[in-house]
Amino acid sequence: MSPTTVDIVPFLSEKSRLWKSCGIRGLFPLEDIPGMISLLAGAPNPSTFPFESITMKLKPTLAGMPAPTGDDDHFNVTLECDELDEALQYGMTAGVTRFVEWLEAFQTHVHKRGPDGTWSVTVGAGSQDLMYKACEALIDVGDYVLVETPVYAGTLGFLAALPGSLVEVNGDSQGLNPAHLESILANWEMAHPGKPFPKLLYTIPSGSNPTGASIPEERKIEVLKLATKYNFLVLEDDAYAFLYYGPEGQQARSYFALEPEVNGELGRVVRFDSFSKVLSSGMRLGYMTAPPRLAAAVNMITSNTNLQPPTLTQIMAYTVLAQWGPDGFLAHCAEVAAVYRARRDTFERVARKHLTGLAEWTTPVAGMFLYIKLLVHPDGREADSAELVSGRAVAKGVLAVPGTAFMPLGGKTPFVRVSFSLIEEDRAEEACRRLREVLLEARAEAEAAPRET
Ligand SMILES: Cc1ncc(COP(=O)(O)O)c(C=O)c1O
């Protein structure tokens, strides 16, 4: 049986229909008609730009890359002449065409989904740019949005400014919990009489920010089945997908890869990838893989706001990626992931030394975070990390993010997010030692305080 394609149109927000094609950018595609003389864009003349060439010199060869074209151990690329003019100029709203095509081929390579017209790639100024615009194009007043909890505080920042009510779906050490999702949906009509069912689910499947959890494939399958049963979209924010350092061959396939085989559907998953963790966060490049009609709605917003993602960094990224090829890029990502695995090991070693009995956490297999539960009350009651982390820990000279920052509806939590991406061993050791002092003091006070009834 051939898969059915989910109709995305009913999911689009009223507001998405208000954005109109910009009178200039809307005509850009006509410039490609052979023989056309374009007097269209108010583009600056690149001969006036002060840059003559830009040379990128890559670090010594990483595994999987082709032989270097520069000197012995380095790989140099110079952008100049027409290519530099293009890189410094305005470009297409959805991204530089050859970069978009490379990314589409890469998605096919990684997720085993050929170009069948049900998805396309759009480049953004970071994945968050695209997530915000996709939510803007989907969420109406009165809509409900399911949010994996706890969740990346950056997403909560823009969701707070959009219409729609957030519904927390609990996560645990295995990521999003499908049993909780199911109980919310099965009881929806009773809990929310007369209200529409949720329109979408936002989730971070790999090395989640903040929990570090990665959801196994079996859970993803359950989530996808629920998505079909209750007719909601799955927004898969996979910013840490390429920072997987767990057992080889055991990384779960993406929601995007799984959706055709789970319920024979295409177009229910909207996927967000980021180059921030594997090429550069300052280049501001991410990409969305989405049904073309949603991509068009996002592009419409871009063409009226920031116009396009940066051409220069797209061409820099494309030049390197085209040299590496998909497997070379994946080999690079594996090397990056190995760096984070080593940092995780180091951080965990010192954390165990100083915090055993005072805190607990689950070892992540991807990403750059430990989500640490503070054990303050000897009787097992849960502490509120906010005061401890924002007050006492700061006073002792250690900074981390209290778990409440990641709760869509606020509330107390005993967790704190620690990032091990940058910290060297001696500093990590000192941070854990200070955290230990904070916890020992809090514990002593808790033991001395009369028990609340
Ligand atoms: C889960 C998650 N999604 C998205 C982003 C933003 O990524 P980008 O830099 O591609 O906008 C981050 C950044 O930390 C993140 O942790």
Distance of CA 92 to the CA centre of its chain: 23
CA of 276 to the centre of ligand 1 (A): 7
Question: Rounded distance, CA 241 to CA 273, Å?
Answer: 8
CA of 56 to the centre of ligand 1 (A): 25
- Which residue type is seen at 37? I
Helix (H) or strand (E) holding 159: helix 153-160
Q: What's residue 452's pLDDT?
A: 58
Nearest to 200 by CA among 119, 110, 291, 123: 291
CA of 197 to the centre of ligand 1 (A): 27
CATH number of 341-448: 3.90.1150.10
Q: What's residue 25's pLDDT?
A: 81
Spell out where 99-188 has E strands: 120-124, 144-149, 165-172, 175-176
Cis peptide before 150 (omega within 30 of 0): yes
Q: How far is CA 192 from CA 144, 184, 223, 403, in A?
A: 10, 10, 21, 28
Neighbours of 95 (CB within 10 A): 25
Nearest to 365 by CA among 253, 153, 216, 234: 216
Backbone angles phi, psi at 355, to 5 degrees: -115, 0
CA of 192 to the centre of ligand 1 (A): 32
Q: How far is CA 20 from CA 288, 304, 393, in A?
A: 21, 8, 50
> What residues does ligand 1 touch, defined as CB less than 6 Å away?
126-128, 152, 154, 204, 209, 237, 239, 274, 276, 281, 286
CA of 174 to the centre of ligand 1 (A): 20
CA of 444 to the centre of ligand 1 (A): 38
One digit per residue, pLDDT tens: the chain, 453 residues?
788 999 999 999 999 999 998 778 878 888 889 999 988 877 899 999 999 999 998 887 554 455 545 455 457 889 999 999 999 999 999 999 999 999 999 999 999 999 999 999 999 999 999 999 999 999 999 999 999 999 999 999 999 999 999 999 999 999 999 999 999 999 999 999 999 999 999 999 999 999 999 999 999 999 999 999 999 999 999 999 999 999 999 999 999 999 999 989 999 999 999 999 999 999 999 999 999 999 999 999 999 999 999 999 999 999 999 989 999 999 999 999 999 999 999 999 999 999 999 999 999 999 999 999 999 987 888 888 998 988 999 999 999 999 999 999 999 999 999 999 999 999 999 999 999 999 999 999 888 886 655
Q: What's residue 293's pLDDT?
A: 97
DSSP states along 261-291 = HHHSEESSEEEEEESTTTT-STT--EEEEE-
Residue nearest to atom 16 of ligand 1 (CA): 209
CA of 339 to the centre of ligand 1 (A): 19
CA of 453 to the centre of ligand 1 (A): 43
Nearest to 256 by CA among 291, 284, 230, 298: 291
Q: Which of 206, 235, 276, when mutated, tests ligand 1's pocket best, judged by the most ligand atoms within 8 Å of its CB?
A: 276
Q: Does domain 19-329 have CATH number 3.40.1190.20?
A: no
- The ligand 1 atom at the shortest distance from the C-alpha of residue 285 is 10
Helix (H) or strand (E) holding 387: helix 385-387
Residue nearest to atom 6 of ligand 1 (CA): 128
CA of 48 to the centre of ligand 1 (A): 35
Q: What's residue 35's pLDDT?
A: 94
Domain ranges of the chain: 19-329, 341-448
- Which residue type is seen at 112? K
- The ligand 1 atom at the shortest distance from the C-alpha of residue 275 is 10
Q: What's residue 68's pLDDT?
A: 47
Q: Which of 274, 281, 285, when mutated, tests ligand 1's pocket best, judged by the most ligand atoms within 8 Å of its CB?
A: 274
- The ligand 1 atom at the shortest distance from the C-alpha of residue 152 is 1
- The ligand 1 atom at the shortest distance from the C-alpha of residue 125 is 11
